[in-house]
Amino acid sequence: MDAKTLHAKIGELMQFFRRRAQQSWPAERKAMIDREHNLPITKQAEVLKISRGSVYYLRATSAGRQIMRRLDRLHLEFPFAGWRC
């Protein structure tokens, strides 16, 4: 195979990958991100057409939610207390 044919085949495969990636659901595309790959995550997200924020997003922990609920209860119980720095 000559270089021109090889480049054409690579381009064809890249187009197939992009089309396939864009046809899948965002959660499936997010699962395609490989943090160990040499290609930077920003470039992977760009190729897969997903936002980088969705790649780096971490869900709130249950401990964090418990703290928020406790603060809400305290505020409802003592609304006159205000806040202090």
Q: What is the pLDDT along the chain (85 residues), one digit of tens a residue?
A: 788 888 887 777 777 677 666 667 888 888 888 889 888 989 888 888 889 888 888 887 888 889 999 999 998 998 888 776 5
pLDDT of residue 69: 92
pLDDT of residue 80: 83
pLDDT of residue 72: 92
What is d(CA 75, CA 19) in angstroms, rounded to the nearest whole number?
A: 51
In the numeric block, which tokens belong to residue 60?
């709130």
What is d(CA 43, CA 52) in angstroms, rounded to the nearest whole number?
A: 9
